[in-house]
Amino acid sequence: MSVPFLPRQSAPSEGDLAVTILDVGHGNSAIVRDGQRCAVVDAADDTTHAELERLGCTGLEEVIVSHVDNDHIAGMSRLLLDPRWSLGRVRVNTDASKDTRAWRHLQETLQLVADDKRITGILPVSTDTGLPIRVGRAELEVCHPRSLMALSGPRTRDARFGTVTSNTMSAVIRIHLDGAAAVLLASDIDGVGLRDILDRRSQQLRADVLVFPHHGGLPGAMNPVEFARSLTSAVEPRMVIFSMGTSGRTANPRPEIIEGVRAAAPDAHIACTQLSVHCHEAGSPPPSEGHLSKAMARGRSTNRCCAGSIVITRTENGFQYAPPLFRHGEFVLALASETGAGSLPLCRAGASPILNPAAGNSVR
Amino acid sequence: MALQLEDVHRVGIVDDVKADAEALGRLFEDFDMQALIMPRPRPRATAEEYLSTLPPLDVLVCDHQLRSSWTVAFTGAELAARANSRPHKLPAIVMSSHVGTREASSIHRWRADIPAVVPKQADDEEVLGAVRYALEEAAGKWSRERSRFRTPIEVLAVHPAGEAPYAEVLVSGWSLTQVAQLPLLRFEEDTGIPPDALLPGTWLRAEVNCYAPRAEDLCFAHISLAPQLSEDVRAL
């Protein structure tokens, strides 16, 4: 079965309607923009700032904090405090445990920018507050948590949900570009959170791109293969992104997760922002980076980009990706042959051939 | 337009060790600048008084520790800070043997008004780069690493004793994993609160250059106590 491709189009410009999934290493950050109108979801480090600067985005109409974990907010305070950016609303997923250092610093930051009248409002993030969130022709739909769970807060054992952690109630955001479901940002949602979404049959998750939760790590107590299969089935993505970093501590994405994704979406293109240790050893020669998009990427400085930062642009014919899927696919295959790993990288095992619409051929 | 060192003709050097002053002077002369070794200050003169006695200069380079052979009430860091913050700015940098040592905290108090501090062992490139920084700041062009904005600060520990008392702090806009040192004399000047009255767990606000690459490059200005969190923020 072949991967459907969009007709060839001219390269999208920086002024387009787009979502950028930034390579921030182990963490998450996304920029949603319609021309110069921007929203940011999470900021794990200064890559977000650098990309906003590169794009010339000076006004952040919406800033969303999916949950208060360092790998999602380590760059957030500086983003909010830096007067180079004018701010609109800040939406913060509650953290009822209220005892982490990161949370307290974020609170103090929000208080300061509110006192300085640099923001127009601070709102909680849940399925039934302040919808819809619009930034030009982009719409950000909060799919999770619903307010009932948000009010219960993390670190509780609730008869309705089970054990709720900070990850369980991390905000899941679906981004629509000009009415088309483009990207599902699944933050760090775990099995308990996913079950709560799927039980609400009215909540649609379908999107062209799934940014897989928890960087491809384990989803709490739920079987990881089943978790990945359930989520991927609900989203029906053309591309699955793992926003992860190369480090000795984590070995993401987990092979069980890839197995579940493949079971549900055999034709989906899988892309890691940085090279996984499953595919490329840190000491191996650095691969060529000619396929990368122009967007800033943390892995560039250490030659650890795989797909790097990924830009999903809405065009009149559908969605267009940078880097193009076939260029990334060719990079992965070349990487495997250069390192002589002997086995295919995780993302290519059992995958369909990658078509190059320009050349009219395909690579496996 | 970038400021050029060709615009610098007269460099004043303040150093109580004559041999060091002359060595530094030769560096600037190699780049076709006129190096003028500044005279010994009048005993107990203030930094402002001393500055008012200096001839017209384009740049001032100050050794930090001036008390080895002079009887002065100020350090090179204070002198440079006051030169940079006068209504008619005299771009000034500090050279010191104490960069990266405990004595560096006596520089820290004045760091907000010193564009660059370079070690005495620095090479020509580093010294000229520091001078360029000073010229640019005097012209109102602040580098990202030196640009300050308001940020919350959490006080972790207080060390009120010694010549340069300091607090260990976490700066929200800089890093939550690296501890920085906040000079308590600066805190006292800005808030009127004595250093030993500051308690761990207190939240402050200050203008800080949050893109500084290293903790020792951080500088603090307009320090104040943070107000209590509002009900709205607490309720999040």
Place of tokens 């909010």: A80
**ipTM of model:** 0.84
Any CB–CB contact under 8 A between A122 and chain B? Answer: yes
| pLDDT over threshold 90, residue B78 | yes
* Of the candidates A133, A185, A135, the residue with the CA atom closest to the CA atom of residue A34: A135
Neighbouring residues of A104: CB distance < 8 A, sequence distance ≥ 6: A98, B154
Q: Which one-letter amino acid corresponds to residue B126? A: E
Structure confidence by residue, pLDDT tens digits, B26-43 = 999 998 899 999 999 998
Mutation target vs B (from A112, A113, A169; most B CBs, 10 A cutoff): A112
Q: How many CB atoms lie within 10 A of CB B26?
A: 9
d(CA A74, CA A18): 24
Would the CB atoms of B172 and A105 count as touching at under 8 Å? Answer: yes
Angstroms from B77 CA to nearest CA on chain A: 28
Q: How many CB atoms lie within 10 A of CB B194?
A: 12
Nearest residue in chain B measured CA to CA from A108: B152
How much is the mean pLDDT over chain A?
Answer: 86
* Of the candidates A198, A197, A195, A191, the residue with the CA atom closest to the CA atom of residue A213: A191
Mean pLDDT, residues B62-69: 89
DSSP code for A238: S
DSSP code for A170: P
Facing B149 at nearest CB: one of A82, A101, A106:
A82
Q: How many residues does chain A have?
A: 364
d(CA A23, CA A50): 12
pLDDT attached to residue A221: 84
- What are the percentages of helix, strand and coil residues in chain A, rounded to 5? 25, 25, 45
pLDDT attached to residue A117: 96
| pLDDT over threshold 90, residue B68 | no
3-state secondary structure of B144: coil
d(CA A10, CA B185): 60
Q: Which structure tokens are listed for A158?
A: 């609730």
Beta bridge partners of A356: A361
Half-sphere exposure (Cβ direction) of A141: Cα atoms closer than 13 Å: 18
pLDDT attached to residue A299: 92
pLDDT band at B108 (very low <50, low <70, confident <90, very high): confident
Q: Which structure tokens are listed for B155?
A: 């006080």
Q: How many CB pairs under 8 A join A and B?
A: 70
Q: Which structure tokens are listed for B145?
A: 């690493």
Any CB–CB contact under 8 A between A251 and chain B? Answer: no
Any CB–CB contact under 8 A between B200 and chain A? Answer: no
Q: What sign does the dihedral B40-B42-B45-B49 (CA atoms) show?
A: negative
Any CB–CB contact under 8 A between A101 and chain B? Answer: yes
Neighbouring residues of A70: CB distance < 8 A, sequence distance ≥ 6: A27, A44, A102, B176
pLDDT attached to residue B1: 38
3-state secondary structure of B96: strand
d(CA A182, CA A261): 18
| 3-class SS letters over B166-232 | EEEEEECCCEEEEEEEEEHHHHHHHHCCCHHHCCCCCEEEEEECCCCCCHHHCCEEEEEECCCCCHH
Contacts of B236 in chain A (CB under 8 A): 92, 94-95, 107, 110, 122, 124
Would the CB atoms of B236 and A110 count as touching at under 8 Å? Answer: yes
Half-sphere exposure (Cβ direction) of B28: Cα atoms closer than 13 Å: 26
d(CA B81, CA A164): 53
Nearest residue in chain A measured CA to CA from B155: A105
Contacts of B142 in chain A (CB under 8 A): none
Place of tokens 């500090």: B94
Any CB–CB contact under 8 A between A89 and chain B? Answer: no
Helix locations, chain A, DSSP H: 47-55, 70-73, 76-81, 101-115, 147-152, 191-199, 224-235, 255-264, 325-339
Q: Is-contact A66 A170, C-beta < 8 A? A: yes
Structure confidence by residue, pLDDT tens digits, B181-224 = 999 999 999 999 999 999 999 999 999 999 998 898 899 999 99
pLDDT attached to residue A5: 37
Contacts of B149 in chain A (CB under 8 A): 81-83
Place of tokens 């204070």: B78
Place of tokens 């559908």: A318
pLDDT band at B163 (very low <50, low <70, confident <90, very high): confident
Structure confidence by residue, pLDDT tens digits, B121-148 = 888 899 999 999 899 999 989 888 999 9
How much is the mean pLDDT over chain B?
Answer: 90
pLDDT attached to residue A94: 73
Facing A122 at nearest CB: one of B151, B210, B236:
B236
Would the CB atoms of B230 and A111 count as touching at under 8 Å? Answer: yes
pLDDT attached to residue A147: 79
Structure confidence by residue, pLDDT tens digits, B45-61 = 999 999 999 999 999 99
Angstroms from A58 CA to nearest CA on chain B: 16
Q: Is-contact B167 B197, C-beta < 8 A? A: no
Facing A108 at nearest CB: one of B149, B172, B174:
B172
DSSP code for B86: S
pLDDT attached to residue A161: 67
Contacts of B150 in chain A (CB under 8 A): 81, 112, 116
Q: Which residues of chain A have pLDDT under 50?
A: 1-10
Would the CB atoms of B151 and A74 count as touching at under 8 Å? Answer: no
Q: Is-contact A181 A173, C-beta < 8 A? A: no
Facing B152 at nearest CB: one of A83, A109, A124:
A109
Contacts of B180 in chain A (CB under 8 A): none
